[in-house]
Amino acid sequence: MTGKVATFRIPAQITLGCGAAETAGAEAKRLGGTHAFVVSDPILQKLGATEKIVASLSAQGIKATVYVEVEYEPSVGSVAPCAAAAKKSGADLVVGLGGGTSLDTAKAVAMLMRNEGSLEDYLGIGLVKRRGVPSILIPSTAGTGAEITPNALFYVPAARDKKAVVSPLTIPDVAIVDPLLTLTVPPTVTAATGMDALSHAVEAYTSQNASPMTDLYALEAIRLIGTHLRTAVANGSDLAARDGMAKASMYAGIAIGNAGTNIVHALAYPLQGQHRVTHGVANSLLLPYGMEFNALSNLTKFAAVAEALGEPIAGLSPRAAASKSAEACRLLSLDVGIPQTLREVGIKAEHLADLVEGAMKVTRLLANNPRQVRVEDVKAILEKAL
């Protein structure tokens, strides 16, 4: 609806640019921190990236306790020992450095340092009672946008499902986006995280909750991904491509942090929960299928997506122009080596019924979808993707 009321929230500060990570110490000091609990991962520690953040903190007289025992695609159970270590350390600030795994874990830990109980108590929408300790999030991949959003996603083994903490109180105080940190990301991860970012941008742009503010960021993110993802995958040391993707990921994070995702992320949830397909691959694989389904809902916006991805749409009918969006997405997906079918990630026909059931439970995201989603629709999309 034109002119509807929309709220827009982002971190109080975003610092962007090559070398931005070196400002971590100064930002921690500005936030009043004296002892930082740094959540990172073994790969970044080995590469020396974690040590650089610790050095930046140390230069400002801030003590650091480093925790790298994170679980990739973290389960709820993996957060408890991390939160316990944070509390025991006496830290008064949390720094997250890494991909979605470290950033979501850091968000949960900062929150649990000021909220009673365990992570399970806060899985859901708006359940967090107070802001956590001050936090600084620094992404090392270009994809999740977790440094911006109010969401943190965890695997719940008992439910074979992924569940999220969603609260504006978990938006970090500072997001630091430094393209230099992404130079060492391998091509497969660059591709999957980059296509996940495209999914964020496309879904937010076409969401029921899209606003003029999120549209600005979402469309620019789509344009940047169309321009830079292929190069970032083909030549990871191309700094212009890495810079473009770092910006795209952050802009897409701003867009989903306020407009949300929809059908692609909803259908990807059970793929992650039931079959442990990684978040990036699950969403990347399903994106063109979701776009094909949704294109009818808003021909103008899907035509704009096609144009932002570089498709010539002049002279085409609105329907033909909108169709070009999914075609462009599929070509990009093929070029960067994303699996194109569910079979390629181990899914068989007998798994579809559970996947359909799981997807239909993700009502939080399906409610944002621009086209009404019936159970037959989900079944048809997954059969097509098989």
Instruction: Output the CA torsion sign for 36, 37, 43, 45.
Output: positive
Output 264 or 385, the one with its CB closest to Fe ion: 264
Q: Three-state DSSP class for 19?
A: coil
Contact assessment for residue 35 and residue 89, using Cβ atoms and an 8 Å cutoff: yes
Stretch that binds Fe ion, among 124-132, 191-199, 221-229, 331-339 (CB under 5 A): 191-199
Output 249 or 323, the one with its CB closest to Fe ion: 249
Specify which residues 175 forms β-bridges with: 14, 137
CB of 7 to Fe ion, least distance (A): 21
Burial of 353 (0-12, 13-18, 19+ CB in 10 A): exposed
Stretch that binds Fe ion, among 58-66, 127-135, 193-201, 223-231 (CB under 5 A): 193-201
Distance (Å, whole) CA 279 – CA 154: 11
CB of 192 to Fe ion, least distance (A): 10
The CB-based long-range contact list for 159-164 (8 Å cut-off, 24+ gap) reads 159/273, 160/273, 160/274, 161/269, 161/270, 161/273, 161/274, 161/358, 161/361, 162/269, 162/272, 162/273, 162/279, 163/76, 163/123, 163/124, 164/123
Stretch that binds Fe ion, among 33-41, 195-203, 286-294, 328-336 (CB under 5 A): 195-203
CB of 265 to Fe ion, least distance (A): 6
Stretch that binds Fe ion, among 32-40, 196-204, 293-301, 340-348 (CB under 5 A): 196-204
Using the rule CB under 5 A, is 147 a contact of Fe ion?
no
Stretch that binds Fe ion, among 24-32, 189-197, 316-324, 366-374 (CB under 5 A): 189-197
Distance (Å, whole) CA 349 – CA 177: 41
Distance (Å, whole) CA 228 – CA 223: 9
CB of 274 to Fe ion, least distance (A): 17
CB of 386 to Fe ion, least distance (A): 22
User: How many amino acids of this chain bind Fe ion (CB under 5 A)?
Assistant: 1
CB of 164 to Fe ion, least distance (A): 11
Output 104 or 196, the one with its CB closest to Fe ion: 196
**DSSP class per residue in 158-198:** GGTEEEEEE-GGGS-SEEEE-GGGGTT--HHHHHHHHHHHH
* CA dist list (Å): 100 to 223, 320, 331: 23, 36, 26
| Rounded (5°) CA angle 311-316-322 | 60
Stretch that binds Fe ion, among 18-26, 80-88, 194-202, 241-249 (CB under 5 A): 194-202
CB of 199 to Fe ion, least distance (A): 6
**Total length of the chain:** 386
Applying CB under 5 A, among 41, 73, 173, 196 the residue interacting with Fe ion is 196
Output 266 or 326, the one with its CB closest to Fe ion: 266
Output 28 or 70, the one with its CB closest to Fe ion: 70
148 to 187: interface string for Fe ion, x by CB under 5 A: ----------------------------------------
Residue closest to Fe ion (Cβ): 196
CB of 189 to Fe ion, least distance (A): 14
Distance (Å, whole) CA 77 – CA 71: 9
CB of 144 to Fe ion, least distance (A): 6
Contact assessment for residue 201 and residue 255, using Cβ atoms and an 8 Å cutoff: yes
Could you list the residues that contact Fe ion (CB under 5 A)?
A: 196
